Amino acid sequence: MIKRMNAPIIAFTLSSLILVPVLLSSADSAAAATFRVNNRSDLPDMNPGDGICRAEIINPNTERAQIFFTCTLRAAIMEANAYPGADTITLGRGQYNLDLVNDGLQSSETLGSTGDLDIVDKLTITGKGKGVTTIDATELHDRIFDIHDPSIVMISGMTLTGGEVLPVVGRDDNQQTIIASELECPILKPIDGADGGALLNRGGIVQLKDMEFTDNIALCDGGAVENQNDSLMLMTDCDFIENVAIGNGGAVENDEDSVLRITTSIGFEEVTGIPTEDDPNPAPTKKLVIAPPSQFLWNNAYENGGAIASDDSLMSVRNVEIQYNVAKGMGGGIWNGDSDSMTLVKATIEWNDAMDGGGIFNNDGFLEMRRTTVENNSPNDIVDYNIPEWTPDF
């Protein structure tokens, strides 16, 4: 019964994700604006909602405030939140350091003025490519993107690093944040949520493309990305390297009736035909080009799912390599929780490590694998506890 119901649900929700660009471009297009970030400092917008991305910066020579035509990433997001319509933010090459720390010790401020960059409207953010455009939150002591319901968001072409969601207990004499020394997910929870070290999707429709997540940490689940609360998310050509969750899902967690698809891009390349005597001017042909596998490398979960954890949700993973991840609990590569549907196609899951289910631990979900390799994991490759609810009475 569960198996029969899952396929149409996945088909429906994945087609919804394909509609993301259409949803972003059609509605409100008359009012939508494009904000080009031209300054890498972390400053807020002076007047959100006026249609202009403008931050006030201090002239280092005169030490006086001067208003240049300065558009920072934070100002652009604050302006896009307040300005009607599905806006676009473009980032150039280089590193953008976030350091405007939340004054309220990680309060639930949702407009992006401090701490994490809260998104509450339809928005597209484009960088120049992973490893080319980088957002670094090492000095922020918060996650990077916090996507609130019901946003529709596309983020592409960037590396997200240094994000952390850990409980801040105070400030030292230099106003530097002090993190709780003993970390345990269920006990110490930041007010603004303990999941998603780099990105938290709280119920929006989110598409991520050509992204790298590296060196992010979450107190609870989803060291880099958390997809929860009826969210839809499509990840294409995204890599996850050395992220940590004190709870489940060292790189990614998918939870609470959400849908997540992880895949790589497919396109066509034009191939020039070779002339022959019979056909001196052959028409060009199209060749299918599949991007290299998405990679999950060296991620770590203190509980379950060293790379990926999914619970009470639907998930499809295609053309990925999941290697060298570690879970202290179950599922060094993947942990599939209760009432889940997980489909793996063309996945390579090897050299991962856990207490049990080194490659995959299927707790009580529906697991389907095609053209998938699971080997060389420790202490074993697959543990599958999907036991039928009834057994024939012989």
Residue whose CB is less far from Ca ion, 113 or 214: 113
Residue 78 phi/psi, 5-degree rounding, is -60, -40
CA 33 – CA 86 distance, rounded (Å): 8
Please name which of 179, 182, 221, 180 lies closest in space to residue 198, comparing C-alpha atoms: 221
Burial 46-71 (b: 16+ CB within 10 A, else e): bebeeebbbbeeeeeeeeeeeeeebb
Residue whose CB is less far from Ca ion, 135 or 334: 135
Q: Minimal distance in Å, beta carbon 318 to Ca ion? A: 31
Cα 288 from chain centroid? 27
CA 137 – CA 56 distance, rounded (Å): 21
Residue whose CB is less far from Ca ion, 109 or 312: 109
Q: Minimal distance in Å, beta carbon 302 to Ca ion? A: 23
Residue whose CB is less far from Ca ion, 52 or 132: 52
Residue whose CB is less far from Ca ion, 118 or 237: 118
Closest residue to Ca ion, judged by C-beta, is 146
Find out whether 193 and 246 touch, Cβ atoms under 8 Å: no
Cα 390 from chain centroid? 38
Residue whose CB is less far from Ca ion, 200 or 315: 200
Residue whose CB is less far from Ca ion, 32 or 382: 32
Q: Minimal distance in Å, beta carbon 49 to Ca ion? A: 7
Q: Minimal distance in Å, beta carbon 137 to Ca ion? A: 11
- Residue 319, CA atoms < 13 Å, CB-side half-sphere: 14
CA 152 – CA 138 distance, rounded (Å): 27
Q: Minimal distance in Å, beta carbon 236 to Ca ion? A: 24
Burial 76-89 (b: 16+ CB within 10 A, else e): bbbbbbbbebbbbb
Query: Is the preceding peptide bond at 284 cis, omega within 30 degrees of 0?
Result: no
- Residue 174, CA atoms < 13 Å, CB-side half-sphere: 2
Q: Minimal distance in Å, beta carbon 185 to Ca ion? A: 18
CA 116 – CA 143 distance, rounded (Å): 5
Q: Minimal distance in Å, beta carbon 79 to Ca ion? A: 4
Q: Minimal distance in Å, beta carbon 100 to Ca ion? A: 9
Residue whose CB is less far from Ca ion, 146 or 164: 146
Please name which of 50, 99, 43, 102 lies closest in space to residue 74, comparing C-alpha atoms: 43
Give the pair of three-digit tokens for residue 348. Answer: 């390579």
Residues that bind Ca ion (CB under 5 A): 45, 47, 50, 52, 79-80, 83, 87, 109, 115-116, 118, 121, 146, 192
